[in-house]
Amino acid sequence: AEKNCNPCLDAAKACNLNNSCKRQRSAYIATCSKEDTNKGEVCSQKRCHKALRQFLDRVPPEFSHRLLFCPCQSEGCAERRRQTIVPECSYKDKEKPNCLEHRRVCRQDSLCRSRLADYMVNCEVTPQTVSTCPNQDNHQACLASYARLIGTEMTPNYVDNSFSNWTVSPWCSCKGSGNQEEECSNFLREFTDNTCLRNAIQAFGYGLDNMQNK
Amino acid sequence: KRARRPKPCSLRELELTVSELGLGYDSDETLLLRYCSGKCLEHRQNYDLTMDHMVRTGFKKKGRKDKVSNGPCCRPIAYEKQFSFQDNKHLHHTVRNMSAKNCGCV
């Protein structure tokens, strides 16, 4: 039954039937799932991040966003979605750093710094209006900024395989923040508790359903 | 009624799931398998004409039982380098040289 209704599987099919998407997707999956024999690591995260950035730079969002934001109604689908970026390599690390420390590392890198700033602007929650995203509810800009963080130090991902109550987060926590606890949780909530991002991802799925029904 | 002209060697496509490839993977991901099929009649050399004759009569007379292909085969001359996918247990795999990129009579 799930086989017949798995939007993430449909997204993979669409990608596999497109030569460029198939090639770029195969390239990052192969890189990210390849053991780094030199260092005895799970993989080379640096190479994996580079391959992911290339995939997202070169493949049109109609393919890549469909893989990242497929609207799931089952755990199997949500797990496939969570695994899209090969999180064992691109997301997880041995230790979970404090989010402010994680942000500091990101800001030392010009690419990560600018992409994070971009995300903060385009996915900013605007409480004073009825709309939830900046610039006349520009969901697309928020999703694109989120996707452009993938392959940086601040790579975000779905934290588990929940489909009804999903959460996205970078690989960090606010443990050990000391007197900066509030600043840390404010930063983390830009991902975990962001109405603009949440609506943008949900609207993406809704938009796809509409297109298929036409 | 005209005799049907055989189709020449060319690249063909078939949509199927990874599970259907017979490589032992369990994945419902769909892909496009490219393969080579068709005749190579126009590519026969004197070598092939000779072998055709030898297999039918020549070798027997000389006491040989060798089997020799009597014409070029339609085969991939280049493969798609790699194909990666997620299986039904959410593990990633990469298979190499599984789909044809170009075909030739060799």
> CB distance B92–A22 less than 8 Å?
no
Q: How many residues belong to chain B?
A: 106
Is residue A70 within 8 Å of residue A11, measured between CB atoms? yes
Q: What is the DSSP letter of B17?
A: E
Encode chain A (214 residues) as per-residue pLDDT tens digits: 444 579 999 999 999 999 999 999 999 999 999 877 777 778 999 999 999 999 999 999 999 999 999 999 999 999 999 999 999 999 999 899 999 999 999 999 999 999 999 999 999 887 665 568 887 778 999 999 999 999 999 999 999 999 988 999 999 999 999 999 999 999 999 999 999 999 999 988 765 544 444 3
Rounded to an integer, what distance in angstroms lies between the CA atom of residue B17 and that of residue B23? 11
Q: Which residues of B touch A29 (CB under 8 A)?
A: 84-86, 92, 94
Q: Which residues pair with B33 in a beta bridge?
A: B14
Could you report the predicted ipTM of this complex, rounded to two decimals? 0.87
Note the pTM of the prediction, 2 decimals. 0.88
> CB distance B83–A3 less than 8 Å?
no
Q: What are phi and psi of A132, to 5 degrees?
A: -110, -25
Minimal Cβ distance to B32: which of A16, A27, A79: A16
